[in-house]
Structure 1
Amino acid sequence: MLVLAGAFNIIAGLAALFRPDYYVVVAGELLVFDFVVWGWVWLAAGVLQAATGAGCLGGQRWARITGVGLAGLAAIGHLAFLAAFPLWELASIALSVLVIYALVVPDKDAVG
């Protein structure tokens, strides 16, 4: 799920960088920054989330901890970007919450 959230953030970042007219608000209506800055933020966050997701698939504890932090920051960032594309941002916030849940709640067969 973390890799999927990262892929969605990469897509959002590329859309903000290459097609800022895709979003329905002008840059002044965003809570913070403009579309170019948000494009780089989402692109970097997406790459970090995808790499962390790969670490989670490898069973790394650091990746689980980092994934929770990145998903929390992404959820907050999606709140700031909410005016640009509300439905996508709400879905991304929900996905971030699910990622946090999946990384925090232990598997029922987990030992120790």
Structure 2
Amino acid sequence: MVTTPESPGGKSEAAAGLTVFAAVMMLITGFLNLFRGIMGILHNAVYLKTPDYVFRFSLAGWGWVHLFLGIAAIMIGVGLFRVSLWARILGVAIAALTLVANFLSAPYYPLWSIVVMALCAFVIWGLCVVRGEEDA
């Protein structure tokens, strides 16, 4: 029997599928932020120097921010494979914080920031668009 999105089985499968998509995207985002954090802490010469930027921190400071957000995103990404409500809520929160952090640090590494911001937007979309039966 083929299930459609309108049938009860199809809705559950769609919810699980989008949550798994968001989990994989969250893991990718987490690892990208983890690597960016390590780069900022250990070898910050890869970043652009922007002397008149309003949100200027030390590059090591941005490195620590991205490192902690990356670790949190990886842990929540693993938790999202269980398709639980708490992981979806924390996933949206961490993806939003990661998106804001990458927006604020975009002048230091623009292309990387844009890619991670797009991944965060996909994570937020994937976690917010579906309301499964476990939420009711």
Cα contact 1:27–1:34 (8 A) shared by 2? no
Q: How many residues align?
A: 110
The reply to whether residue 52 of structure 1 matches residue 73 of structure 2 is: no
2:110 aligns with one of 67, 86, 90 = 86
CA distance in 2, matches of 1:35, 1:18: 10
1:103 corresponds in structure 2 to 127
1:39 corresponds in structure 2 to 63
Residues 22 and 30 (structure 1), Cα distance of their counterparts in 2 relative to 1, 3 Å cut: farther
Deviation, structure 1 residue 29: 3.9
Deviation beyond 3 Å, 4+ runs, structure 1: 26-30
Larger radius of gyration: 2
Paired amino acid for 1:10: L
Cα contact 1:75–1:92 (8 A) shared by 2? yes
Cα contact 2:50–2:107 (8 A) shared by 1? no
Unaligned stretches of 5+ in structure 2? 1-24
Unaligned stretches of 5+ in structure 1? none
1:62 corresponds in structure 2 to 86
Residues 28 and 11 (structure 1), Cα distance of their counterparts in 2 relative to 1, 3 Å cut: farther
Cα contact 1:10–1:47 (8 A) shared by 2? yes
Cα contact 1:68–1:103 (8 A) shared by 2? yes
TM-score (norm 2): 0.74
The reply to whether residue 19 of structure 1 matches residue 24 of structure 2 is: no
CA distance in 2, matches of 1:19, 1:28: 22
Residue identity (%): 28
